[in-house]
């Protein structure tokens, strides 16, 4: 249901919260959704081979070359691609669309709402109740910007592409955050390969390729909308290593590798759910992303107890629409889940 939410100090603090702040060095990390501790060897080697390029400014030809690779990966044209210094830069650009009223679908990643509110844009929250299924009729007709995630962080819900397309209206722009789409085998329900005059799709390379420290992503959309969001952007917004990483991970062999990784994530998730339920933990399903939304009687107490034994989990109460009983867990391989289960038993779940 739609709700107007204030932008007071407490609310803004929650919107700014991200799981990485709760992870101390040496902790077993179930709070952050980055897969692995760093990029694969072949990607490290490609980036290392570009270190000599750091002595000069990246040129337009390098940007175009990377955009061509991304465009080919999604069946687009290069002028439908805007390279970004991480998906967060894309969210920061949204106020340049100058919406009168932005509707943000929740529970979801809070960065888009924060960027819009800090720019003085009027925001209404469309809060979905369980099972967090999207109903386009809940979005106010006068909203000329709609932002949602697919799959959605933190619920792990995957909305049907047809339902997202039903959000389109004359004079409205729909922004779909697909930061985790490449973590799903086959990337079902993605709009990345579909061109619409009023839809922007946001992609991140941070999670699957463990590039959180490099900041890489891109927008896909019509050239006129991309021109609006990039207006006033600084020169050389991406460095040589970012451009190299975007080009490298858009290569067909890398895309195939990402799908193998996605299949491993799906298998790990399927194995992880019954182990959590065996401990009496409620797990939201169906789940499609590389994370799970869980509910326990006292999530904050459990989070603190787990932190005390060296395990980090993501609090859920900072996501609009969720309460103190929710936590988000990154999907991890069996050995790490063994340690999580042992820790849960130790703290008395």
pLDDT band at 223; cut points 50, 70, 90 = very high
Closest CA to 66 of 235, 236, 242: 242
Instruction: Compute the distance between CA of residue 314 and CA of residue 323 in angstroms, rounded to an integer.
Output: 13
pLDDT band at 4; cut points 50, 70, 90 = low
Task: Give pLDDT tens digits for 142-189.
Answer: 999 999 999 999 999 999 999 999 999 999 999 999 999 999 999 999
Instruction: Compute the distance between CA of residue 175 and CA of residue 172 in angstroms, rounded to an integer.
Output: 10
The token pair that represents 64 in the structure block: 């175009």
Neighbours of 151 (CB within 10 A): 24
Mean pLDDT of 187-216: 96
Write down the residue that tokens 């922007």 correspond to.
Answer: 200
Mean pLDDT of 31-47: 93
- Can you list the domains of the chain with their CATH numbers? 9-38+255-347 (3.90.1150.10), 41-250 (3.40.640.10)
* Helix, strand, coil % in the chain, rounded to nearest 5: 40, 15, 45
- Segment (H or E) for 336: helix 334-347
Task: Give pLDDT tens digits for 40-67.
Answer: 999 999 999 999 999 999 999 999 999 9
Give CA separation, 335 vs 159, 209, 229, 272, 340, in Å. 31, 20, 43, 11, 9
pLDDT the model gives residue 3: 55
- Segment (H or E) for 64: helix 60-74
pLDDT the model gives residue 333: 97
Instruction: Compute the distance between CA of residue 218 and CA of residue 201 in angstroms, rounded to an integer.
Output: 8
How far the first Cα of the chain sits from its last, in Å, is 33
Neighbours of 62 (CB within 10 A): 18
pLDDT band at 2; cut points 50, 70, 90 = low
Cα 236 to chain center, whole Å?
24
Which residues, including other chains, have CB under 8 Å from residue 314's CB and lie 6 or more apart? 19, 22, 30, 31, 32, 154, 291, 327, 328, 329, 330
| Residues belonging to the chain | 349
State the angle between helix axes of 252-277 and 240-250 in degrees (0 to 180), rounded to the nearest 10. 80
Q: Characterize the bridge pairing of strands 326-330 and 311-315.
A: antiparallel
Instruction: Compute the distance between CA of residue 258 and CA of residue 268 in angstroms, rounded to an integer.
Output: 15
pLDDT the model gives residue 36: 83
């Amino acid at each position: 249901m739609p709700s107007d939410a204030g932008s007071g100090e407490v609310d803004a603090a929650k919107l700014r919260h991200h799981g990485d702040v709760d992870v101390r060095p040496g902790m077993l990390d179930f709070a952050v959704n980055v897969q692995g501790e760093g990029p694969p060897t072949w990607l490290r080697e490609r980036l290392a081979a570009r270190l000599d390029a750091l002595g000069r400014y990246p040129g337009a030809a390098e940007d175009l070359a990377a955009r061509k690779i991304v465009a080919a990966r999604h069946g687009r044209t290069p002028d439908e691609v805007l390279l970004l210094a991480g998906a967060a830069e894309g969210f920061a650009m949204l106020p340049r669309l100058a919406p009168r009223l932005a509707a943000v679908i929740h529970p979801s990643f809070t960065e888009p709402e924060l960027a819009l509110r800090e720019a003085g844009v009027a925001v209404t929250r469309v809060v979905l109740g369980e099972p967090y299924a999207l109903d386009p009729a809940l979005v106010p007709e006068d909203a000329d910007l709609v932002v949602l995630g697919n799959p959605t962080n933190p619920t792990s819900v995957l909305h049907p592409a047809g339902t997202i397309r039903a959000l389109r209206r004359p004079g409205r722009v729909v922004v779909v955050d697909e930061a985790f789409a490449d973590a799903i085998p086959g990337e079902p329900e993605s709009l990345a390969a579909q061109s619409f005059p009023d839809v922007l799709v946001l992609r991140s390379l941070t999670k699957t390729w463990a590039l959180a420290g490099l900041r890489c992503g891109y927008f896909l959309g019509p050239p006129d909308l991309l021109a609006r969001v990039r207006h006033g952007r600084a020169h050389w917004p991406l460095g040589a290593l970012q451009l190299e990483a975007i080009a490298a991970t858009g290569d067909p062999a890398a895309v195939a590798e990402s799908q193998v990784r996605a299949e491993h994530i799906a298998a790990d998730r399927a194995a992880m759910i019954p182990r959590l339920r065996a401990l009496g933990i409620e797990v939201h399903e169906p789940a499609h992303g590389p994370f799970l939304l869980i509910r326990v009687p006292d999530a904050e107490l459990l989070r603190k107890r787990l932190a005390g034994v060296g395990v980090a989990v993501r609090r859920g109460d900072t996501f609009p629409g969720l309460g103190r009983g929710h936590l988000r867990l990154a999907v991890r391989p069996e050995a790490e889940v063994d340690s999580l289960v042992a820790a849960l038993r130790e703290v008395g779940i």
